[in-house]
Amino acid sequence: MQTSITESTFGHMPDGRPVTEYTLTNVNGMIVKILNLGGVITEIHVPDRDGKLADVNCSFDDVASYLGDSQYFGALIGRYGNRIANASFTLDGQQYQLDANNGANHLHGGLEGFHRRLWTAETFVTPKSAGLILSYLSADGEQGYPGNLETTVIYELRADNELRIAFHAITDQATPVNLTNHAYFNLAAGGDILGHELTIHADHYTPIDDVQIPLGDLPPVAGTPFDFRSAQAIGARIDADDEQIRNGFGYDHNFVLAKKAEGALELAARVREPVSGRVLEVWTQEPGIQFYSGNFLGDSVKGKGRIYGHRSAFCLEPQHFPDSPNQPAFPSTILRPGEEYTTVMAYKFTTG
C-alpha cells in the first residue's frame, strides 16, 4: 500500500462553493477522510486485532447536516473549545459579548464557529505521511471575539496509524484561543460505548454547575466516578448517584492532565474496545481533556445508514479548561499580538 491523498466533491455550500472531501491513506491501508468544511473528519478506518478495517468515526452524509445541529461531529472547534459563561469575558479592562448559543453561555466558538466555515486547503504527501493544511482567517469581531485570527491546522496521517493534528494561530489583538477537534468515536463501529474501557491520565478534574460551567476548583478524582487512572468501563459509573454526573447528564467534564512536563506531547487518554481489540490513544500538549460520553446523542441523529443513539459515541477533546477567560486561576488562554499559538494533538490507533 502506498501513502496517498485524493479528493472528491462532497457537496456544496449554500452559496455554491464546493465542499471537498480528502481521502488520506497510509502504508497499512488505514484511511481517513476530511472535509474542507469545518475540517470535519468524516471517516476513520482502522483495523481490529484480526486486521479487519471498520470506520470508527461518526459522521453525516451531507453538507446540510453539518450546517444544521451537527453536534460538532468530527469538526475543528474554535475560536474557543467548550463553554464561556454568560457568553462574556473581560480582557484588558474591556468587556466582550460573544454569541450565546448554549442557553446564556457560549459553546465551541458560537453558532457560526470554526466548525461551519469553509477552510482553504492544500495537500502534501511525504514518504511516511499524507496530509492536509487547512487555513482560516477569523475576522475581528467574528462571533464577538476581538482581533483577526489567522489559523492553520495541519492534519497528517502517519505510517504508524496516527492522525496528528497541529494547530497554529496568530492575532492582531489580544483574544482567547482554545482550538481542538471534536471527533466522535465508537471503536466497535456500532452499538453503545458503555463497554469501552477508558483510562485518563488525570488526578484532578473541573466540576461543573448545572449548565456545565466549571465551579473553579480542581478536586481529586480519587473516590469519585471520575477516577479513570486505571482502565474502567465507561458505563460502570455513568449513572452513579453523584451530583457531578447529574450536572453533566453523564460524563461531560474536563480532566486536568497529570503532565510529566508542561506543554509536552504526552499520552492523555486510552480507550480499548474489548470485543474488537481496537485501541485509541489520545495525545496532547494541552493541560486538559474533555471527556464527553455522547449524552446528547439520540434517535434523531443519523448518518451512514445508522442512528447515533444515546451514548453511542464518545469524544476526547484536548483543550485548555472551559471558561478560562473568566477563571483567573486556570491556565491562560489569551493570545497576544506577536505571540504564536501552537498545540499538537494526535489520535493513535493500535490493538490490544
Report DSSP state, residue 45: E
49 known ligand binder? no
Confirm whether 182 is a catalytic residue: yes
Task: Report the nearest approach of ligand GLA to the CB of residue 4 (Å).
Answer: 32
Residue 122 or 209: which CB sits closer to ligand GLA? 209
Task: Report the nearest approach of ligand GLA to the CB of residue 114 (Å).
Answer: 14
Given 106, 182, 196, 320, which residue is catalytic?
Answer: 182
Chain positions contacting ligand GLA, by CB under 6 A:
71-72, 82, 107, 212, 252, 290, 292, 296, 315
183 known ligand binder? yes
Confirm whether 286 is a catalytic residue: no
**Closest CB to ligand GLA: residue number:** 292
Task: Report the nearest approach of ligand GLA to the CB of residue 70 (Å).
Answer: 9
Residue 43 or 252: which CB sits closer to ligand GLA? 252
315-319 β-sheet, strand order: 202-206, 252-257, 288-292, 315-319
- How far is it, in rounded angstroms, from Cα 78 to Cα 264? 22
Which residues have CB under 8 Å from 349's CB, separation 6+?
A: 30, 44, 46, 47, 56, 161, 162, 278, 279, 280, 281
160 known ligand binder? no
**Do residues 66 and 73 touch, judged by C-beta distance below 8 A?**
yes
82 known ligand binder? yes
Task: Report the nearest approach of ligand GLA to the CB of residue 228 (Å).
Answer: 16
**Do residues 25 and 131 touch, judged by C-beta distance below 8 A?**
no
- How far is it, in rounded angstroms, from Cα 235 to Cα 340? 40
- Pull the grid cell for residue 124: 502534501
Q: At which residue does the C-alpha cell 474536563 appear?
A: 254
Neighbours of 299 (CB within 10 A): 10
Residue 274 or 298: which CB sits closer to ligand GLA? 298
Residue 107 or 218: which CB sits closer to ligand GLA? 107
174 known ligand binder? no
Residues of 184-193 as b/e, b for ≥16 C-beta within 10 angstroms?
bbbbbbeebb
For the chain, the helix, strand and coil percentages under 3-state DSSP, each to the nearest 5: 5, 45, 50
Residue 37 or 289: which CB sits closer to ligand GLA? 289
Length of the chain: 352
210 known ligand binder? no
Report DSSP state, residue 143: G
**Do residues 272 and 48 touch, judged by C-beta distance below 8 A?**
no
Given 108, 286, 317, 320, which residue is catalytic?
Answer: 317
In degrees and rounded to multiples of 5, residue 246 shows phi and psi of: -65, -45
Phi-psi region of 305 (alpha: psi -120 to 50; beta: other; left: phi over 0): left
Residue 122 or 210: which CB sits closer to ligand GLA? 210
Task: Report the nearest approach of ligand GLA to the CB of residue 65 (Å).
Answer: 14
Rounded-to-10 torsion of CA 50, 55, 56, 59: 180
Task: Report the nearest approach of ligand GLA to the CB of residue 192 (Å).
Answer: 16
Question: How many angstroms from the chain centroid is the CA of residue 50?
Answer: 28
Catalytic residues, by residue number, are 182, 317
Binding residues for beta-D-galactose: 82-83, 182-184, 252
